[in-house]
Structure 1
Amino acid sequence: MSRLTRLNAAVGTIDASNAFTPRTTVGLAGFSAALTGTPLCIGADKVTGRIFYVGSTYLQWSDDAGATKSANKSLPAAITDVTSVAYLVRFAGYYWLGGYDATASRYKIYRSTIPTSGDFGWAEVLTLTQGSGGIGTSMDCDDKYLYVGEYADPSGLTPKLWAITLADAAGAGTNWVTKWTGASTRHIHTIACDPYLPGHLWLAGGDGQGFEILRSTDYGATWLTVATDANSQVVQISFTPDYVYGACDTADVTAWVWDKASWTKRSAAKNWHYNIPVPGGLGSRYLTDVTLVAPSTLQSPTGNFTSNDIGRRVLDEARYTTAGRVRTGAYIKTVNSATEVVLTAPVNAAHASTGASKVTVMGDRWYHGAFYGIVDPATGIYYCVAHDTSNYGNKYGLFYCPRPGDDLRLLTSEVYGGQCMRIAGGYLHSHQWRVPLLSQSAV
């Protein structure tokens, strides 16, 4: 079977909406202004193309690729932290959604019938055994199972991969089994089903312990080890007929790609997004009159701090000595005034430094991990996003790579964007971004 035949068999006829030339971000017109919380794309119906969004206290959907939205729809009543809602999936004639129940201190899975125009009717069907507060767990499905991966923070909680069969999901929806348990993995970052190879699924976990990428060829009955090194840590996995892409949460590489013919791993692009200039980026500045106040306040009469400093890393000149008081990796979380900011990490009180400290407030660079990314299976173009300066920056960069081993390029940078990426209706959806897909002829 030819590559094109296999591609069309898996994704259907490639629709003309994929043929866009590079252009600036297309915003979610009229949507962001109506929200009191953060609008976030959390999934797409693989049957109808319906796209789902979560707002501050509600859900919405779009049946026209994000051009218009439905009226507000209900979340499960127990979910009060919408940042924990990251996936909505269609399986066995139902919609499935996960979210954190703060009262029970557990992440839960809910099921609803598929509404045409009315509201959802959510019913709880699974309580996960591990806490995953504030961070959405992963969810995907194939032709036989719906899979749910526990994020399971803090570390040492042995996260599980849960699954339910098509028949059980169409029935009561409560007969779940475990397909894998991470004896040494901190949490599961993603579970992803390969639509071109039935029964093939990939699992990735890590963050400080148990770095693992695993794949199964038999619906999770057995597992093959793909990688166990920290440099292979990925957060989102996507597929074409010939390749598997992993968006990296690590330094030195933007994404890994595996060739299905040989299962050889290599960098998806020639370059690293970190080294691509940030448009309009500010330079670093050196402050010699810094006072540090516990627990995490930094003061400087000459700081001239503004909101543009949020997310910038702060390096203590004495960080490699016992005099260093700004912890390695700390960055600016809040700007209180032109002379005072709050850091993300507490001042190292164990280091008895007195007097003024000298620090560098780092200039604009993209955060080293572009850990959300997806490949367009119709064109083979890979897309990914990264914050500027840190994983708490002021804006996002959207990057693309035309084909494996090509140059990675910046498409646009905006205040809005990021989060897990979806492709539906000829558009790339990520947080508030709704970006026309590119054609190979355009890149």
Structure 2
Amino acid sequence: MHKTMWRCGHWVMARDYQWRRLNQVMALNQALRVVFPLILLGSLADLVIRGWLTPTGYYYQTLHVENWCPQRARLEQGLLLLQNGAVGLASLGLAIVVSFYLVRQVTRSTDDQLTAGLLAGLTLQLVNVNPVSLQPHHAPAWLAMNLGWHGILAGLVVGLLVGNLYRIGVRIWSSPLDATLRPITLGSLGGLGVATVSGGWLLAAPFTVRAAFNAWLRLPLSFPTGWGQLASFSLLNGAMTWCGTLGALPTTSGQTVAATQNLAAVLGSAHWQVPHVLTVQTVIQTYASMGGPGMALALLLAIFLVRQNAAQRRIGWLSLVPVLGNFNAPLLVGLPVIWRPLLGIPLLLAPLACVSISSLALAFHWVPATAYPLAVSTPGPFLSFLGSGGSLRALLLAIVNLALATAIYYPFVKGDAAVDRRLAEEAKRDATSDELA
């Protein structure tokens, strides 16, 4: 059994190593490293806004911020501008940088590289239009800062699409004598193509990319109430997070109604009995999303337990404050976890294990279900304690789940560190060979 697991682990690490050496993946990883500071800045701003400056925030409620921060509304507006600007620029930057690096792999022409990047940025901006502005005698309002955390995936996809199309053009037009003419021609043709696509988008009665994405996500998330549905919800959440859809999945009306009915039942009765025991709030938000979707807090603990990769630990320390507030974007972008198979496996398995254990404990009434609203940025392990009215059994279950999720993440984080070392040694050998040549 031990040998089988050892062989499976080495097979997965070998596949991950081969995956990360692909040109497309290397471009993605380079782009994620470039935008990491923006993601970190946007996460910190979002944490302060939602945790400290809004009435639903944990620190707003516990520290009575309204009593000692008279300029709270003005501060919230300023931080909201910072958050939207940083995250929106990160999405736009991903499209530009991914396309830039993809073209850089096939030509040394800086003009080609920059032209491809600018075309990708233009594409993302022009297909994201505010439909309210499409009125007679009004100029269309092109948007770039409204994408939010879901825009990370949009930036990656647009960057890959435009970058690869431009690469095809470079390979077809490969004459070194046309190094100056080629970016001008391809850029002009690309601009016309983008204008055509955006024009078609306008004629099709468009809506913003963010609204379309949220509407698409809500389709399979109607109202999960059993273990099977909650497990499917968790797997979908993990898969979308791995793809780059950062932040929580949109809440549906059914989930809101269930949470309201649970709260009303608790407030109107002397006994802690809720009509909906297994819901997104009572299971996934409480026990399977500590540190953010994917049990990011467990991933952070596993990083600190694995002492073989200084870069991982540096990202972990930089992401510590946001993760404690359940904002996982810096950690997932900085490592990165996004589009990395080896870390994608525990991203699915750890929450699924927590959903299974928590559903069992709730179904047998070993712990009370959370009914009180969960304040934003509440440290993960305390969600169950506060949401259940101070139940120590609920807190113990949360700690067990966190320990289990950390144990699931640990071997994968250790394997990821080994792949990092192998790639670093390979890059060092290549650099030495180039110097000798």
What's the TM-score once normalised by structure 1's chain length?
A: 0.27
Q: Which has the higher contact order (CA 8 A, sep 6+)?
A: 2
What's the TM-score once normalised by structure 2's chain length?
A: 0.28
Greater C-alpha radius of gyration: 2
Between Structure 1 and Structure 2, the one with more helix by share is: 2
Between Structure 1 and Structure 2, the one with more strand by share is: 1
